[in-house]
Chain A
């Protein structure tokens, strides 16, 4: 039954992707993109990747659709017809697709326990995590501790992309010449729709609460800083859509946002420096407490907090950069 459900979802995914490519109205394409991400999240869930499904649902279906719509408000929303290079592109993808497709017949089947990927180091992580770190969610343990260097790198990449967007588009009150007072005040999007306004505003505190739950329960269930950051940003974005861009800029001033962007990454790196001062290696959390297992847990909670703050503020700053540019 699960297999059939998976095949159904995957087929819908292909149909949606073709819809995105064929849609001449870019607004349609972007909305289909949101559906594509939601279907992808459902697929990840069927494939036992709950953390990834949560991330894809929050980031892909939620925030990235909003960002695409924000950008679409600033550019033409119709694509011009063009048949240039179409035949060549079709020939290339057919040839490449068939070549990779031929190679799949040597691949292990879905769920095969003897597949090479399950034989090498993966069992070690599943066996040793309860002993060395003692938190139930192995994904969080690998993300925060075993692979802490790489996750720090990812946070820096997110921060760098955020800085790049701010340099390109500016953020009223923090980057560029514009001031928050230049941004149109008042309800701009939903001023004729009372029900979404009231219901949406009621939801905002609960979304924030859920973000905090995902942040601090990430060691025990699906979740962590990346997901919580995206969900928290989504709550503020919902507030901005209902109450207007100016109100949202007043709620969390852009200057504070820019400081938060950097301080999340700084907290992460600071934990690394602290462990060095305490006599361990960079990001070796064991030295944070007399009990190495507890030290690991404290370290993971701290760096996840840094990740959450950085991701939330970067996504929010990017949203503001697009939303405030138009008006």
Chain B
């Protein structure tokens, strides 16, 4: 049971590597963006894992609960804004993919490269 305290980190690693694999091995640009989102979500999970304290609760101070332990608010603030920035950058990436499709007629990176070499 003791070793299960590290399970969150292992899931973080597996998700990080799944994301990295998708970005490296999949030629489809939409797939690459999805992989990047998984990679990003893995980092979020690592940070949020750090905030947890045994027996603690969400960091919203209750005046009548004396001696209550609260989770660490700092990683939470960091990740909260990172999620919103993440969707903005994802949207920008999607817009670029849409324009690439309009210009090349494909969103597979090997075909885009071939089209570039032909010119």
A and B: bona fide binding partners: yes
Task: Please give the residue numbers on chain A whose beta carbons come within 8 Å of chain B beta carbons, in ascending order.
Answer: 3, 6-7, 10-11, 13-14, 17-18, 20-21, 26, 29-30, 33, 36-37, 40, 43-44, 47-52, 55-56, 59-60, 63-64, 67-68, 70-72, 74-76, 79-80, 82, 84-86, 88-90, 92-94, 96-97, 100-101, 104-105, 107, 109-113, 115, 117-118, 121-122, 125-126, 129-130, 136-139, 142-143, 147, 150-151, 154, 157-158, 161-162, 164-165, 168-169, 220-222, 224, 226, 229-230, 311, 314-315, 318, 321-322, 325
> What residues of chain B lie closer than 8 Å to A84, measured between beta carbons?
25, 27, 110
Chain A residue nearest to B5 (CB atoms) is A109
A154, B110: Cβ atoms closer than 8 Å: no
Using known A-B contacts A21-B35, A111-B53, A130-B61, determine if residue A10 contacts B8 with beta carbons closer than 8 Å: yes
> What residues of chain B lie closer than 8 Å to A85, measured between beta carbons?
24-25
> What residues of chain B lie closer than 8 Å to A168, measured between beta carbons?
92, 95-96, 98-99
0/1 interface trace, chain B 70-109, chain A, CB 8 Å (1 if under): 1111111101110111111111101111110100001110
Contact size range, B: 35 or more
> What residues of chain A lie closer than 8 Å to B71, measured between beta carbons?
47-49
In the bound assembly, the distance between CA atoms of A88 and B86 in angstroms comes to 28
In the bound assembly, the distance between CA atoms of A230 and B80 in angstroms comes to 12
A64, B87: Cβ atoms closer than 8 Å: yes
Using known A-B contacts A90-B21, A117-B72, determine if residue A30 contacts B34 with beta carbons closer than 8 Å: yes
A161, B15: Cβ atoms closer than 8 Å: no
> What residues of chain A lie closer than 8 Å to B31, measured between beta carbons?
21, 26, 29, 79
- Lowest 6 CB-CB distances: which A-B pairs, in order? A109-B5, A161-B88, A111-B54, A48-B71, A89-B25, A71-B94
Which of B16-44 touch A at CB < 8 Å?
16-22, 24-28, 30-31, 34-35, 37-38, 41, 44
B80, A126: Cβ atoms closer than 8 Å: no
In the bound assembly, the distance between CA atoms of A86 and B23 in angstroms comes to 11
Using known A-B contacts A59-B87, A164-B95, determine if residue A71 contacts B30 with beta carbons closer than 8 Å: yes
For B7, B73, B84, the residue with the greatest tally of chain A CB atoms inside 10 Å of its CB is B84
In the bound assembly, the distance between CA atoms of A157 and B17 in angstroms comes to 27
Chain A residue nearest to B107 (CB atoms) is A75
> What residues of chain A lie closer than 8 Å to B112, measured between beta carbons?
none
Smallest distance from the beta carbon of A28 to chain B beta carbons, Å? Answer: 11
Using known A-B contacts A21-B26, A75-B30, A96-B20, determine if residue A67 contacts B90 with beta carbons closer than 8 Å: yes
Q: Which residue of B22, B76, B86 contacts A51 across the interface (Cβ within 8 Å)?
A: B76
For residue B60, CB closer than 8 A to chain A, the reply is yes
Q: Which residue of B24, B41, B49 contacts A37 across the interface (Cβ within 8 Å)?
A: B41
Smallest distance from the beta carbon of B92 to chain A beta carbons, Å? Answer: 5
Using known A-B contacts A96-B17, A137-B60, A139-B76, determine if residue A321 contacts B88 with beta carbons closer than 8 Å: no
A49, B51: Cβ atoms closer than 8 Å: yes
